[in-house]
Amino acid sequence: MARSNDEVAALLQEYADLISITGGDAFRARVYEKAARAVGGHHADVSTLDLKGLQEIPNVGKSIAQKVREYVDSGSVSAVEELRARIPAGVRRLTAIPTLGPKKAMAVYEELGISSVDELADAIHEERLRDLKGFGPKTEENILHGIELLRSSGGRVRLDVATGLAEDIVAALSAVPGCERCTYAGSLRRGRETIGDIDILVASRKPAPIMRAFTELPYVTEVIGTGDKKTSVRTGKGLNVDLRVVPTDSWGAALQYFTGSKVHNIRTRERAVHQKLKLSEYGLFDVESGDKIVSETEEEVYERLGLPWIPPALREDRGEIEAGLRGALPDLVTEADLRGDLHTHTDLTDGLAPLEEMAEAAAARGYAYYAITDHAPDLAMQRMTDERMLAQRARVRELDGTYPTRGRRGGLRLLHGTELNIGPDGRVDWPDEFLAGFDLCVASVHSHFNQGREALTRRLVRACENPYVNIIGHPTTRLIGRRPGIDADLDAVFAACARTGTALEVNAHPDRLDLRDEDILRARRHGVRFAVNSDAHAVPHLANMRYGIATARRGWLTAEDVINTWPERRLRAFLRKTKP
């Protein structure tokens, strides 16, 4: 697979960091840092070079060249994977702070359990670092300065933040006279979980008024650069936005090009070259004559390359080109396919709205069924008791079928469930005889995140084996940018889910998006079923389903893979699981 120089450079830099964190030779780490910079700035695409060509790059010796070829050929490097397995994800996150070296990052993780930038900042303000060897007031001051630098560097933002801003911009520019088409492209169109900057694409024969309107938008804080074809601005949301205006007859080629990803575009350009064509943002051209062949729609660009149209969510060079050539691209799940939501909360525990309001809002979304899954008693702060849960069940039964649903026959079917806590040993809150009364049970890890890998794996597998557990909620427990996922053998968990008929959740909250798209791809190969759920704690949270669906699509999921797209009868049969 073709890989960009930037990707290879990032991999080499990561390897250098890993060597430092694990106490490896400092000179060796510097060798890889130099190689990373050299590869990133090299003029030729390293994916096209053999070992000899790679070794002609300054600071790239035989061993590094072999690792580059290994990555280009297989998508991974065994030496890097081995070191990754030794390093907690939180330590890697801390090393992003410019003034915090890898050894100190490891120290605060091991001694204080700190695994995020926010946790580190809180610990400094509470003066908890001063008892550690090598840390003092001056060190704290330097680290805080580094945190400020990191936070002000225009880092990546959550998918929902970027989506909201991009949709506002598209709406504003679409209303400008002369704007014929307008949309967002880039990683946002592909549905990535975090976004570094936003790409807006406009088709128009009169770019000047559109450029002017763009720079005058209320959330623009600085105009970085402006011209006839491209204008870049900085916004108050912490995101840079690039606007590109193209002729209408170049729309399809430009949309394909600026949607990316880089590695996908490399593959499509390679196909063009093999057919004596040239693909750019302006169109698909005959190399010999220079004539433009197609450019107006993405569909015709892909068709001329011998491919079906490939959904943006798949454009990551994860086999979509090969699947397209075989006619095997999946019919990806859509938000319209969803018939219900199987993980939500009310004000009985930590939700903000009563059962009635949540159910009414679910009915307004056109759902056929809707599950209420408030927390069980092991989360003591929720003050759950058997009596309170049974009283809620009675109310759910009373309201079942009473809310008319838009576009569906009959009223909204209400399922009474619970979100169980998976304890440190894998047991859940209630005994079997009580669990038998629920329509479904979601089980999630809420504590003891730092158990060992084997213990965490056994914990999740045991939950899967519980005959009353239907769904593993937010399976890795991660919070994007704040808490890493737990260190469990996910393949063992995926195998257990497939074996026991337990679904894995794709939690749609933008803070979580858990499972990640990469994990979904792996789990799908095990034959696992999935549930895309909002984990709503308030009525507005129900709309987060769009982000869960975006992640599910990036994981190649179809409606058949997702149990809450199924008719109610089929869903209930799945939820019965194999009871003792």
Q: Which of 347, 386, 376, 343 is nearest to 362 (CA)?
A: 343
Q: What is the pLDDT of residue 551?
A: 98
We find that the CATH architecture of domain 263-326 is 2-Layer Sandwich (3.30)
Tokens matching residue 477: 């427990």
Q: What is the pLDDT of residue 324?
A: 97
Q: How far apart are CA 90 and CA 94, in angstroms?
A: 6
Q: What is the pLDDT of residue 546?
A: 97
Tokens matching residue 16: 């250098």
Strand duo 292-294 + 230-235: pairing: unpaired
Q: What is the pLDDT of residue 409?
A: 76
Q: Which of 217, 234, 236, 216 is nearest to 225 (CA)?
A: 234
Q: What is the pLDDT of residue 315?
A: 97
Instruction: Per-residue pLDDT tens, the chain, 580 aa: give them.
Output: 233 676 788 788 888 888 877 778 888 888 888 888 778 666 678 888 889 989 988 789 999 999 999 888 888 899 888 887 877 777 777 877 766 777 788 888 888 888 888 888 888 888 888 878 888 887 888 788 777 756 654 467 889 989 999 999 999 999 999 999 999 999 999 999 989 899 999 999 999 999 999 999 988 989 999 988 999 998 877 689 999 999 999 999 999 999 999 999 999 999 999 999 999 999 999 999 999 998 899 999 999 999 999 999 999 999 999 999 999 999 999 999 999 999 999 989 988 789 999 999 999 999 999 999 999 988 766 688 999 999 999 999 999 999 999 867 789 999 999 999 999 999 999 999 999 999 999 999 999 988 999 999 999 999 999 999 999 999 999 888 667 788 999 999 999 999 999 999 999 999 899 999 999 999 999 999 999 999 998 888 899 999 999 999 999 999 999 999 999 999 999 999 865 5
- Which residues are registered as beta bridge partners of 411? 404
Q: What is the pLDDT of residue 539?
A: 85
5-151 CATH fold: DNA polymerase; domain 1 (1.10.150)
The CA distances from residue 73 to 2, 3, 50, 401, 438, in Å, are: 8, 9, 11, 56, 50
Q: Which of 360, 383, 382 is nearest to 370 (CA)?
A: 360
Q: What is the pLDDT of residue 8?
A: 86
**Extended beta strands in 159-307, E state:** 181-184, 194-195, 197-203, 220-225, 230-235, 240-246, 277-280, 283-286, 292-294
Per DSSP, the chain holds a count of helices (H) and strands (E) of 24, 17
Q: How far apart are CA 282 and CA 295, in angstroms?
A: 7
Whole-model pTM? 0.74
Q: What is the CATH number of domain 335-575?
A: 3.20.20.140
Q: How far apart are CA 543 and CA 534, in angstroms?
A: 8
Q: What is the CATH number of domain 158-246?
A: 3.30.460.10
The contacts found for 567-571 with CB under 8 angstroms, 24 or more apart, are: 567/339, 567/368, 568/339, 568/340, 568/368, 568/369, 568/413, 571/339, 571/340, 571/369
Residues 6+ apart with CB under 8 A from 419: 343, 345, 373, 374, 375, 376, 441, 442, 443, 444, 473
Q: How far apart are CA 349 and CA 375, in angstroms?
A: 6
Q: What is the pLDDT of residue 154?
A: 44
CA 462, 465, 471, 475 dihedral sign is positive
Q: Where are the domains of the chain?
A: 5-151, 158-246, 263-326, 335-575
Q: What is the pLDDT of residue 3?
A: 39
- Which residues are registered as beta bridge partners of 332? 558
Q: What is the pLDDT of residue 402?
A: 95
Q: What is the pLDDT of residue 2?
A: 33
